[in-house]
Structure 1
Amino acid sequence: MAVLSDDLSWFLILAESEHIGEAAAELRMPQSTLSRWLGRLERRLGTTLFDRHGRSLALNTRGAALGRRLRAAVTQLDLGESEVRRLLDPETGLVRFDFMHSLGTWLAPRLIHGFVDDHPRADIHLHQGTGRDLIARIRDDEADVALCSPRPDHDDLRWLEVLRQPLALCLPSDHRLARLSRIRLADVAAEPFISTPGGFNSRDLLEEVAADEGVEVNVAFESDELSTVAGLVVSGVGVALLPADDPYLQLPGTVFIPLATSRSREVGLIWRAGQEPASTPGLFLDSARAVLSSGR
Structure 2
Amino acid sequence: MAYESRSVRPPDDPAGENPVEILAPRLVQFAAVAKAEHITRAAEQLGVPQPTLSRTMARLEAELGVPLLVRTGRGVRLTRQGRMLLAAVEPVLDQLEQAGAAIQGEASATRGKVAFGFLHTMGAEAVPGLLRAFRADHPGIRFALVQDSAAVMLDRMRAGELDLCLTSPLPDAPDLAVRALGEQRLYLVVPADHRLAGRRRVRLAEAAEETFVCMEPGYGLRRIADALCAEAGFVPRVAFEGEEAETLRGLVAAGLGVALLPAPEAARPGTVQLAVSAPRAYRTIGLAWLAGRPETAPVRLFREFVLGRTGQLLH
Match of 1:121 in 2: 140
In 2: Cα distance, 1:65 partner to 1:88 partner? 36
One-letter amino acid of the counterpart of residue 196, structure 1: M
Does the 8 Å CA contact 1:98/1:134 hold for their aligned counterparts?
A: yes
Match of 2:127 in 1: 108
**Which one of the candidate residues 281, 284, 295 is aligned to 1:263?**
281
Structure 1: runs of 5 or more not aligned: none
One-letter amino acid of the counterpart of residue 180, structure 2: E
Residues 29 and 169 of structure 1: CA distance in aligned 2, closer, same or farther (over 3 Å): same
Does the 8 Å CA contact 2:215/2:222 hold for their aligned counterparts?
A: yes
Identity %: 30
One-letter amino acid of the counterpart of residue 62, structure 2: R
- Number of equivalent positions: 286
Match of 2:46 in 1: none
Match of 1:254 in 2: 271
Q: Which is further off, 199-208 or 226-235?
A: 199-208
Deviation at 1:254, TM superposition (A): 0.4
In 1: Cα distance, 2:115 partner to 2:52 partner? 50
One-letter amino acid of the counterpart of residue 270, structure 2: G
Residues 114 and 269 of structure 1: CA distance in aligned 2, closer, same or farther (over 3 Å): same
Residues 180 and 68 of structure 1: CA distance in aligned 2, closer, same or farther (over 3 Å): same
In 2: Cα distance, 1:281 partner to 1:58 partner? 46
Q: Deviations over 1:164-210 (max 9, x none)?
A: 12221111101122112222333233332111111112211221122
Structure 2: runs of 5 or more not aligned: 5-19, 44-49
Q: Deviations over 1:65-119 (max 9, x none)?
A: 4323312232344345545654554233332211011211121111122222220
Residue 301 (structure 2) pairs with residue 283 (structure 1): yes
TM-score normalized by the length of structure 2: 0.76
**Which one of the candidate residues 88, 93, 97 is aligned to 2:116?**
97
Q: Deviations over 1:251-280 (max 9, x none)?
A: 001000112321311112223445779932
Does the 8 Å CA contact 1:151/1:267 hold for their aligned counterparts?
A: yes
In 1: Cα distance, 2:189 partner to 2:112 partner? 42
**Following superposition of structure 1 onto structure 2, how do residues 1-296 of structure 1 map, counting pairs within 5 Å?**
1=4, 2-3=20-21, 5=24, 7-16=26-35, 22-23=38-39, 26-27=42-43, 28-29=50-51, 36-37=58-59, 39-43=61-65, 57=77, 60=80, 63-83=82-102, 85-86=104-105, 89-243=108-262, 245-248=263-266, 250-259=267-276, 260-273=278-291, 279-289=297-307
Deviation at 1:13, TM superposition (A): 3.8
Does the 8 Å CA contact 1:114/1:291 hold for their aligned counterparts?
A: no
